[in-house]
Amino acid sequence: MAMLDKLFNNKESDNPLVGQKFYFKVPAHTKEAEDWKVEMELRTNGWYVTFGRIDGNCGKSGIPYLFRILEHSWIEVPYKLHSFIEHLWTLAINQKIDKDEIQNGFDNLSEWLKKVNREKPQGKVWEEVGA
């Protein structure tokens, strides 16, 4: 049990960022609705992700729970989003960026996610695919 405690609860980390919570905004399906916030807690081995009834330990890239949340919410995921999240984790865990920069990183990724999901091809030719 002590080993699990060390791995998942970060009891022995000297990094002041470990245990800090950040928010990854997921675009609502309409422009009028408020974006959803997925809580991302920095852990020594990845992230602890929480949103509604879905939560759990994830790897450095947010897999599996962050991507389950996105898939469950019918959110299109940009190519290599997982790599960007892992890069953010690496910078944070190595203390190359501070708390505000981590949140700014999530905000940048949220904007990217929003563009992918709101800026779709327009016109009659795309009506059959639901654009």
Domain assignment present for 125: no
**Which residue type does 109 have?**
L
Model pLDDT, residue 123: 77
Model pLDDT, residue 9: 54
Domain assignment present for 124: no
Model pLDDT, residue 117: 86
The share of the chain scoring above pLDDT 90, in percent, equals 64
- How far apart are alpha carbons 36 and 88 in whole angstroms? 20
Q: Residue 97: which domain range? A: 19-118
**What count of other Cβ atoms lies within 10 Å of the Cβ of residue 82?**
17
Collapsing DSSP to helix, strand or coil, 57 comes out as: strand
Which CATH number do you get for residue 106?
A: 3.30.2210.10
Domain assignment present for 12: no
Q: Cis ω on the peptide bond leading into residue 78 (within 30° of 0)?
A: no
Pairwise pLDDT comparison (29 vs 63), residue with the higher score: 63
Model pLDDT, residue 131: 59
pLDDT in tens, 12-41: 589 999 999 999 999 887 777 788 999 999
Domain assignment present for 127: no
pLDDT in tens, 98-120: 999 999 999 999 999 999 888 87
